[in-house]
Amino acid sequence: MRFPRASGLLLHPTCLPGRYGIGDLGADARGFVRFLGEARQTLWQVLPLGPTGYGDSPYQCFSAFAGNPLLISPDDAAEDGALSHDDLRAAPELPDDRVEFGRVIAFKADLLAAAAARFAGSAPASLAAEYEAFRAAEAHWLDDYALFMALKDAHAGAPWPEWDRDLRRRAPSAVARARRDHAAAIARQSFLQFLFFRQWRRLRAEANAAGIRIVGDLPIFVAYDSADVWAHPDLFFLDRDGRPTVVAGVPPDYFSETGQRWGNPLYRWSVAERDGFSWWIARMRAALDLFDVVRIDHFIGFARYWEVPADEETAAGGRWCPGPGAAFFRALRRALGEDLPIIAEDLGAVTPAVEALRDEFDLTGMKVLQFAFAGGAKNPFLPHRYGANCAVYTGTHDNDTTVGWFRSAPAAERSFAQRYLARSGDDIAWDLIRAAMSSVADTAIAPVQDVLALGSEARMNVPGRPEGNWSWRLRRDELAPHHAARLAEMAEQYDRLATPDDEPDDEPPVGGAEAPPEPSDEAAVRDKEKN
């Protein structure tokens, strides 16, 4: 579907300020909503909200449906009676500019266990009724997830393929016994999900009331060590012991001689199609319950995907395989409606088949300005090459900040950017924000780091680096009134004051009537490195 002309900011909730070592869904999230309103922005984009595991990546979660308990606001939980204020006074001193995940996880695990125990012992009647309604509504994923997490705890965090054989294979007797033996732990996990969803839905309602839509993120692949793969092994290429036979990745290219071996299990799309893509429909329905717009990460995988034998150490020995294609999106439309509010992350090895799939279902594609200035005037990421039905970003969570990118870019790239933008580059982050806002693209989004003109020290993720990612945080009061005023001026100047009820123009896209040529190696879309 086409979106109204609008703009917004990218900021993951973990990056918000707050005194508990990590951003959460409480007062500072509501403060960010107010900032967006003052800045006359109507979009807030977040990364996946699922519970993270080793490496703390939101793109490798224990569930495609669950929320991350680390995002639960202790203050809001106390206001709801799930914690006491004495519990909160025990919070340790934690940094305000970085997330120290190890310390945060240890502190919050104890705090949330106390909340669950308090609820189990003396739940207010109204909250208990709300909890039971939540459990019933979300049972289709919550029952498996809560058991999965309880079993992980019982196995000291070991991945599910290392559990007892009967539990690995979900033998009915073993599962029934586990539900009895771990009933308290299952109840605790279910309650934490209740708290997360209660707080998130309250935050989203406040954002929507202020005219702000939430853009979520849905990775195409799921983590191997997840409730999804454990509970639905038939949907994935696994052997009899539950080990992947093939895994996801991307082929060798200009940036990597051996490609990238991501390691996620691959879908048996033929099995999913025979079932009417029911698991995927449930997943997308859950995403649309959380978000107003869903960005699908690695959209090209629906047209074709790179299959790597699981015993290969690199991705070089892989092959291209066909994805589910149009049949998948027809099934989504039948189940969820004709107008799918999707941003298709179509970066990387884009082929005519990928573009045709995107355009057949009128999905919004992506442009990244940091990719625009290598390769000359025909680079498809330059604003004059856009059609209107796209979302333009100054950079994404996988990019350096714009200031960091510009400082490290080749001299020729910097020179072309200066000439194209007609700017010196001294204020390059805002130069790109202006280029995005003034472009014909219906949607324009900038990471908050670019609003603050921060350097590489504020980068969110370095793909391929196993540790040290996802930890940047915004300090309280770092976003100031002058930032809001500057964004508001641009939103007004470039006609991005749309509300969610506005309709896009019916005029044909401007520019690029023909498909743009493939970029050169140097301008290749920096084929998306993954976690």
345 noted as active-site residue: yes
CB burial of residue 168 (10 Å; 0-12, 13-18, 19+) = middle
CB 401 within 8 A of CB 394: no
**Which residue among the candidates 76, 144, 297, 400 is catalytic per the annotation?**
297
d(CA 133, CA 362): 36
- Tell me if residue 297 is catalytic: yes
Nearest to 374 by CA among 258, 511, 254, 250: 254
Out of 28, 138, 217, 345, pick the active-site residue. Answer: 345
**Strand partners of residue 250:** 260
Cβ 59 vs Cβ 530: under 8 Å: yes
Contacts of 401 (CB under 8 A, 6+ apart): 395, 429, 447, 449, 450, 454, 455, 456, 458, 459
Catalytic residue among 56, 225, 346, 398: 398
Buried b (16+ CB within 10 A) or exposed e, 252-274: ebeebeebbbbbbbbbebeebee
Phi, psi of 375 (to 5 degrees): 100, 0
User: Which H/E stretch holds residue 437?
Assistant: helix 428-438
Closest by Cα among 380, 377, 388, 451 to 420? 377
d(CA 346, CA 367): 9
Q: Which two tokens stand for residue 209?
A: 């009331």
Cα separations (Å) of 121 from 81, 130, 194, 308? 12, 16, 16, 50
Render the burial of 383-397: b for 16+ CB within 10 Å, e for the rest. Answer: bebbbbbbbbbbbbb
CA-CA distance, 528 to 300, in Å (whole number)?
11
Active site residue 80: no
For 164-200, give the DSSP string.
-HHHHTT-HHHHHHHHHHTHHHHHHHHHHHHHHHHHH
Torsional sign, CA 117, 122, 127, 131:
positive
**Look-up of token digits 């703390």:** 56
Do 322 and 368 touch, CB atoms closer than 8 A? no
Torsion sign (Cα): 178, 183, 185, 190: positive
Residues annotated catalytic, as ranges: 297, 345, 398
